[in-house]
Amino acid sequence: MLLADAPPNPWFSWQYVTNNSADIRSALGQHTSLTLQAVAIALVVALPLAALAHARPRLAAPVVGTAGVLYTVPSLALFALLAPWTGIGRTTVLIGLVAYALLVLVRNILVGLQGVDPAVTDAARGMGYGRGRMLWQVELPQALPSIVAGVRVATVSTVALVTVGVVVGYGGLGQLMFRGFRSDYHAEIMTATVLCLVLALVCDVVIVLVGRWLTPWSRSTRMLADSEV
């Protein structure tokens, strides 16, 4: 009897989900595409920057420092500064997201490249490997665990940052959150929040699985270590 008379939970409403499923799917699709595209672009930019910093150690500090400066700019201020030049919408949000992901990716790729066993590079050099071949066939594969870790952190943080894009009218699930705050509709805010958490979790799991697929030797090493124990 007490349960029947209890008021509905204002934070969770399945009726809201069913009545607004089209809006939710659209916001979730926008959020997912922004996240994946931003991380992919940031990775494409970060790889050559980290490789250059690795090949020219004196450039490491300026490269990482510049990425760090971009990372410290408040997201609201960055989007507001970009809007007059890039307009309102997807392009502005993407530029901001890529800028924030760069520091994590450049730093992790550089750490991975610097952590390659010198004996491995010496052996490859003795076999006649040039600088480019050394990078692609020896150093980058050895640095993959660190790169995957960086992609995981960059992706999860990007999922959260996409919501700030609401200030330029393109924030994915942030649009639902903002609308919920304006109307004081808690169910809308909570639905968008939960979907952000689920999206971050799914992306993280997928990246872990892809990382294991790309680095089968690391699994073999762990299994061998476990067997020895």
Q: How many Cβ atoms are within 10 Å of 39's Cβ, its own excluded?
A: 26
pLDDT band at 1 (very low <50, low <70, confident <90, very high): very low
Q: What is the pLDDT of residues 162-189, one digit of tens each?
A: 998 888 888 889 998 988 888 877 888 8
With 0-12 CB in 10 A as exposed, 13-18 as middle and 19+ as buried, what is 54? buried
List of residues 6+ apart from 63 with CB closer than 8 A: 49, 50, 52, 53, 106, 110
Q: What is the pLDDT of residues 144-159, one digit of tens each?
A: 999 999 999 999 999 9
Residue 14 lies in a domain: no
Residue 121 lies in a domain: yes
Residue 44 lies in a domain: yes
User: Shortest CA distance to 135 belongs to which of 75, 215, 50?
Assistant: 50
Q: State the pTM of this model.
A: 0.85
Instruction: Pinpoint the alpha helices (H) of the chain.
Output: 2-5, 14-19, 21-55, 60-72, 75-86, 90-114, 118-126, 131-134, 140-162, 173-183, 186-214, 216-228
Residue 7 lies in a domain: no
CATH of the domain at 150: 1.10.3720.10
Give the domain extent around 99: 21-228
Residue 6 lies in a domain: no
How far apart are the C-alpha atoms of 39 and 67, rounded to whole Å?
Answer: 15
User: How many domains would you assign to the chain?
Assistant: 1
pLDDT band at 111 (very low <50, low <70, confident <90, very high): very high
Q: How many Cβ atoms are within 10 Å of 189's Cβ, its own excluded?
A: 18
